[in-house]
Structure formats: C-alpha cells, structure tokens
Amino acid sequence: MNILNRPFNTPYHTPPFSKIKTPMYGEAILEEIEKTKKEIQAIAENPENPDFKNTIEALEYSGEQLEVITSIFFNLNNAETNKEMQQLAQEISPALSEFANDIRLNEKLFERVKAVYESRAALDLTPEQSMLLEKKYKSFSRNGANLPEEKKKELRAIDKELSKLSLKFGENDLAETNSYELHITAEKDLEGLPDFALEAAEEEAKNRDKEGWVFTLNYPSYIPFMTYAKNRELRKKMHLAFGSKGFQENDHNNTEIILRIVNLRHQRAQLLGYKSHAHFILEERMAKTPEEVNHFLEELLEKARPAAKREFSQLSSFARETDGIDHLEKWDGAYYTEKLKQKLFDLDDEKLKPYFKLEHVIDGVFAIAEKLFGLRFVPAEDIEKYHEDVRTYKVTDHENQLVAVFYADFHPRKGKRNGAWMTSYKPQYIKNEENSRPHISIVCNFTKPTGTTPSLLTFNEVTTLFHEFGHALHGMLANTTYPSLSGTSVYWDFVELPSQVLENWCYEKAALELFAKHYKTGEMIPMEYITKIKESSTFMEGMQTLRQISFGLLDMSWHEKDPANITEVKAHEREVFKRTDLYPDRPETCMSTAFSHIFQGGYSAGYYSYKWAEVLDADAFELFLEKGIFDRDTAKSFKEHILSQGGTQDPMVLYKRFRGKDPQPDALLRRAGLLEK
C-alpha cells in the first residue's frame, strides 16, 4: 500500500519525506479522490433528514487524507521542486479541480446543505458552527450549485484550465529566475559591493564551476547587487533581466497566459452572476466591493503622492550632486537610496548585518514568542526534513504541552521559488474531543553561510523573518473546532495582520536587545544604531507606499472590469502606472508577467490587503506601545481574540474585541511619517 494513503507512523504524524517518491503522489491522490467521492456520496444519499452533524460536519471532515497529501505535494512544488514534480502538478491540478467541482456541483449534496442553511434560525449553533454553515453553503452557491447543467459544464472547463494556467505561470517565472546569471571576472566591476555579497557570489561561481563571481535573480543575490554595485551599466543589466521575467520572446513568456487567466476569471464571475472577478472575490473580504478598495487606495494615494514626489526629487538631486546623474532610472533607485540613507543616518547593512546572524535572529523571535505567548521552541531531530537546510522544532507551552510542529526553511536553491511565505502541512482542529495540533512551515530566501561567514541578514530580511513568523504564530496558536476555519483560514485582507504587527518588534530597543549581538564579539548592538534604525524606519516611506499602491491598483485593473478589450499586457500596465510612476518606463520590462501574487498565489483582487492590514497592524501596535511591548495581558488578548480564533467569526468583530474600538487609519499615516504625530 502507498505510504501516503494511511496515517503516518512517525513522531506527531509528520510526513516521512525520504520514503515518498514523486510518482507516489499521483497514485495516492487519485486513490484518495475515489475514497472521498464515496464519502461524499454517503453524505448526499444519507436517508436521514439533513442536520448540522450528518451533513455540514460530515462534509467538513471528508477527504482528510487527500488534504494531507495535496498539502505535502504543493508545498514541495514551491520549496523543493523539479521537472518531474512540475509535470505531475500539471496532471494532478486539473483532476483536483474537476473533483472540487464534482462536490460543489453535486445537486443532492447541495440540497442537503441548503436545507440545513435555510433552517439555521431554528438551530442552536455556536458562532463557529454558524460560520462553518455559512461557508459551506457559500462554497456551493458561489461556485455554481444553482447553475443549470449546461452552465455547470462551462464552469468545470474554466476551472480546469485556470488551474493549469496558474501553475504554468509559476513554472515560467521560476525558469526565468533560474536561467539568468551575471558572470563577473573583472574585480573593477565589483566596486561598492560588500564582503557578504562578494563571498556569496564567489561561492555561487564555484558551485557552477566558474571563475570569478556569479550573481543571480534570487533575492539574496539580486538585492545586494542593485543596492551596492557602483557599476551602473551592470545594475542596468541586472534590472532589465529581473524586470523582463516572463516578458521575453521565449518559451517562458507569460503575456498570453495573463490575458487568458483574467478573461477566464471574468467569464467565471459572470457565469456565477457577479459583475467581475473582483466583485466575486471581495464579497468574502473585509472590503466588500471594488469601490471600497479603490476608495481606500485613492485615499492613501492622495496622502502618499506628495511625499513620494518630494522624496524622488531629493533622491534625484543627491544622485546629480554625487555622480552627475541627470535622469534617475529604476536601476539607480536602490543604489542612491542606500547612499543617501548612509549620508543622513550613517547607517547601512554593512554596519548592521554583523548584528543579525540568522541563528541569533531565530533565537530572538523565539524569545519574543515566549515573552508574549509562553511558547518554547525545541529543536526536534526526530522530525524528518524534506531538505538538509530545513530546521525542525517541537513547539510547547509553559505546561510542556505540544502546541505545534514547526519547519523553517531559510536559504535559496534551484528548486525553490523566490520570496518568503508561510504554509501548513496540517491544520489544527478538534475532533472526538482531541485537539489535533498543526504542522506549520515558513520558507524564506536568505543568504547562505559561506566557508568563513555565517548567514548574516539585512535589516529588511530581519523584518521578513518576523513577518513570516507572525503568520506562523497565527497557524500555531489556532484553537478552533473545524480545520477549514483554523489558523490563517481568514479573510485575505485580515490574514496579514498577525504577520505585519510582529514586524513592529524589530524596531524596539527592548526586543533588539534580545538578539542583535555581533556574531564575532557577542557585543550588543550599539544604542545609536537602534536609534538610527528607528529614525530611518520612515525613510522614503512615501515612495515605498506609492509602489505598494501601484501594485494594488494594477491588480484591481486586471480584475474589476471586463478585460476582453485588453490585448497588450504592457500597454495596459503602462496606463495604470501613469499615475504612480516616478521613474521613466523601460519598454523591455513588465511587472505583470512576474506578478506571482495575483497570477499564481491567492491575491487576485486582493493585493490591496497588505496596505489594508497595515492600518490594522499600526492601530493594534499602538496598544502594545501604550501598555508595553511585552505586556502579557495585551498579548493574551491578541491571542484570544485574533490568533486563536482563525476564521470563526467576522474579522472586524474579532478586531474590535481586541482593540475595544474601530481601527484608526491615522495610526498608519502617523507611523509612516505621512501625518504629523
């Protein structure tokens, strides 16, 4: 029997990665689909009258092993993929999409769900049960259960194609990232680059059997190069390579895929009775309509644009005075921003990185989690890893009870997509009076240690680690009955609150003193550096805010109207960016063709949620500042009302229970320096 088709006989039932061969996933998933079909059929044909337990709860717990297998497979397809796995994903995804539609379009099943839903007023349900019932009903009604048979067939075809297109988009992006290298052999071309970047590039060259230095489009290589390399032509070369991913005349071009995706999404929404894909998505978000999202973005734009223009003018003048640069280009932005920051604050990553050894930062975030929530992280060698770089931990509370299993995967490699994310191999839920604890993972792309230097993080990477760890806490501290409402299973404009709020601790002296110590001497980070970190936290914030707003507007432009008349991806993008652009455009680059968040991830019609959640996080952290950043009562309230509750109730209800009032947008503007404090 396939090892994937039965509960794992391992510590905490974690995946036995070494025993799973790639073809086993396909076989196991097809077998579990058939098993789950029988479970669904039994629910649909149950002769008893439909009630919450025999219909809604039964449906919730159907296909448990299928969920386990697909979580492992798709997590690894992002973090440790290869051609065989990608090919299998292309075969599996349509089958899973078809199966999901088999459930959602099952008339007998929907009749039972609908019967329970329509009698809900007479049922004595808890708030969580009410939310589960509503979610189950909407998962049918919002996905075609009320459609005539002909339209259901059309919906199935659309969903099948969308699942394949989304995968292909991601594969193209990864292929473009992996295929480019900047090979440097002349030392003069390395001027300005810090030792950590040079050492990593030298190591990369050795790994590729080359002399000299190799820089890639992976973030730990690309970002330091763009930030420090004095050679402007080489910065241009790197920027154009990065900016043209998915936009070149080759097999990895994503333009037609994008046009097909947005048109299919629109058709799907129309089929279901919605004006657009954005209208469909936002019905299940805190911001209920495209109008509300656009109003939110426009309001921020109005506040940020004047500040961004002033900052750009300041940066342009600085580049002109420093190096005689007449026109600032996109490949100059990070370089001169860093130079100006050094001049104004006498602070740069070269000074800070020695104080942010990866292991120390990990210890620091663990110490903060212990101070706030009483958690302990114990390295667990008995938990198997999918790659040698992965670290595994058993997470316990102050009574030594298991809270979660935690995987941490920090370094880039060929089979891993760029960026950073949190995911789960198993959700938390309560069944048969047993509280089954979650298996949570964070995946990042930080510089690997070399022969002589440990992994040292930039301050931006420190905040990234805290961000993903905030998501992880949301997953770990979940305490709900039903898996589909657990942890990060919340509205997507609420999901970034726990992650973004935790970033705030990176700027606080009492938190930095827990982990920011020199990797050679053990000396604590100097107080003046802490002051400068705080002072520089809003440096160029107007430009940064404008950039995020531009991505949100681009996302909405793809999804809030009928895209049938959009024939050129680049031309459409240019039209949207006219209002937010500060730098001249380059015709050979395109943002959309590598915009994985909305074309591969789940952020379509939802990119605005980063800024939306920033309003919540700035407002929430003001309470911690008022009470003390390690105040246990405030942390307990945040855990009880936010982190443990998952999607069991409306997020604004949960937020107001924690905060005692509506969130105040001015908190974000104050923190960003866009409003007087």
Annotated catalytic residues are 468
Three-class secondary structure assignment of 242-285: HHCCCCCCCCCCCHHHHHHHHHHHHHHHHHCCCCCHHHHHHCCC
**Are the CB atoms for 594 and 173 separated by under 8 Å?**
yes
- Rounded to a whole number of angstroms, the CA Rg of the chain reads 25
Strand, coil or helix: what is 183? strand
Q: Phi first, then psi: give them for residue 608, nearest 5 degrees.
A: -55, -20
Report strand pairing: 391-396 vs 402-409: antiparallel
**Alpha-helical runs (H) found in 61-122:** 64-79, 83-104, 107-118
Q: How far apart are CA 555 and CA 548, in angstroms?
A: 11
Q: Phi first, then psi: give them for residue 425, nearest 5 degrees.
A: -95, -20
Report strand pairing: 429-431 vs 434-436: antiparallel
What is each CA distance from 380 to 14, 16, 390, 402, 508, in whole angstroms? 12, 14, 11, 12, 30
Residue 600 structure tokens: 């591969």
Q: At a CB cut-off of 8 Å and minimum separation 6, what does 178 contact?
A: 414
Q: How far apart are CA 33 and CA 27, in angstroms?
A: 10
Full DSSP string of 444-501: --PPPP-SS---B--HHHHHHHHHHHHHHHHHHT---SSGGGSTT-S-TTTTHHHHHH
Q: How far apart are CA 244 and CA 176, in angstroms?
A: 9
Q: For the chain, first and last CA: distance in Å?
A: 65
One-letter amino acid for residue 228 of the chain: Y
**Are the CB atoms for 413 and 389 separated by under 8 Å?**
yes
Q: How far apart are CA 677 and CA 656, in angstroms?
A: 23
**Are the CB atoms for 556 and 294 separated by under 8 Å?**
yes
